[in-house]
Homo-oligomer: A and B are copies of this chain.
């Protein structure tokens, strides 16, 4: 089973207008209203692939109720905890030139909210299951909330994937997360190391099992293994994909979670499990770029890329 945590979900509203002109009034078409937030996007991709993920996180107010309703209609399992305040809305205005995004801040959560979330997560998870923690944390989140959940899940023989940024990324590495998936910019910002290989190494040194770095059109870089055994894999799509890059990272995480979800604890190192499916990580994330809404992916693109993406390994002696 794959459980995805979205601490700061969003109601994603997408508008279409021919051209967004600051200072003017626009009649917009409503392209969609979807349940969003990175962990929810991961779950939506997994569900579309035939998996049966469970969504966990905090929801509040009318926007929270709309998200819950959208997930229920899609048949996606959910175990959200109610919080005070209004779950945020994200407005994306798509025009002929590109996408303009307006992100509201999320509602405040408390240490008690996080304890309740961890209790639910640890009750739902069994050894061999996968826990995905994705996205930003809302205001009020105690610094130890995410690393403590990572530690407890790892201690329960659950495989843990974390896609976040800043100090939480470093803390997740120290807590022993099996896989971290920052993009290059997030990795550099959190570690303050310019070289992505060196920065990934720094996260492994802190305790992570594998670091998968998304490099945009240059594909992904995965670095894993302990000490002298450090291994590096790369994979990139054999074609240039254009569209909406929001959600590509979430699709990558979905592929990673799927690679880890063997249902059995201890069947191989997490690094090896993910490395074997790195072409899937690239293919699914490329197929998400082509789809206009985050959490969706284009099936023909996925199938084409899956057949044509190669994984390369390079051994580096440190």
Q: Across the interface, which residues of B come within 8 angstroms of A13, CB to CB?
A: 89
CB distance from A236 to the nearest CB of B (A): 25
Judge whether B99 and A23 touch: CB under 8 Å: yes
From 5 to 27 in chain A, residues with beta carbon under 8 angstroms from any chain B beta carbon are: 13, 15, 17, 20-27
Assess whether A27 is in contact with B103, with CB atoms less than 8 Å apart: yes
Contact yes or no, A24 B100, CB < 8 A: yes
Proximity bits, A61-104, B CB within 8 Å = 1, else 0? 01101100000000000000000000001010101011111111
Tell whether A30 is near chain B: CB-to-CB under 8 Å: yes
Q: How far is the CA of A98 from the CA of B28 in the complex (A)?
A: 19
Assess A93 versus B102: contact at CB under 8 Å? Given A22-B22, A62-B65, A65-B62: yes
Residue contact B104 to A30, C-beta cutoff 8 Å: yes
A32 within 8 A of B: no
- Give the nearest-CB partner of A103 in chain B: B27
Chain B CB within 8 A of A140 CB = no
CB pair B28 A102 closer than 8 Å: yes
State whether the Cβ of A266 lies closer than 8 Å to any Cβ in chain B: no
Give complex CA distance A100, B17 in Å: 13
A263 contacts partner chain B, Cβ-Cβ < 8 Å: no
Knowing A62-B66, A66-B62, A91-B91, the reply to whether A103 touches B28 (Cβ < 8 A) is yes
Among A23, A65, A99, the most chain B Cβ lie within 10 Å of the Cβ of A23
A29 at the interface (CB under 8 A from B): yes
Q: How far is the CA of A23 from the CA of B100 in the complex (A)?
A: 4
Q: Which residue of B lies closest to A63 (CB)?
A: B62
**Do A105 and B22 contact each other (CB < 8 Å), given the known contacts A62-B62, A62-B66?**
no
Once bound together, how far apart are the Cα atoms of A65 and B23, in whole Å? 30
Contacts of A27 in B (CB 8 A): 103, 105
Q: Encode A89-123 as 1/0 by CB contact (under 8 A) with B.
A: 10101010111111111000000000000000000
Assembly CA distance A63 to B23 (angstroms): 25
Pick the contact of A97: B17, B23, B29, B89 (CB < 8 A).
B23
* Measured CA separation A13–B86 after assembly (Å): 13
Within 8 A of B (CB), among A184-206: none
In the complex, A21 Cα to B98 Cα: how many Å?
A: 11
- Chain B neighbourhood of A15, CB < 8 A: 102, 104
- Whether A24 pairs with B101 at a CB distance below 8 angstroms is yes
Taking the nearest CB of chain B, how far is it from the CB of A304, in angstroms?
Answer: 28
Chain B contacts for A93, CB-based, 8 A = 22, 102
For A23, the closest partner residue in chain B by CB is B98
Q: Which 5 A-B pairs have the closest CB atoms?
A: A25-B101, A23-B98, A20-B22, A62-B62, A28-B102
Complex A-B: 18 CB contacts under 8 Å:
A13-B89, A21-B22, A21-B100, A22-B100, A23-B97, A23-B98, A23-B100, A24-B101, A25-B101, A25-B103, A26-B100, A26-B102, A26-B103, A27-B103, A28-B104, A30-B104, A30-B105, A62-B62
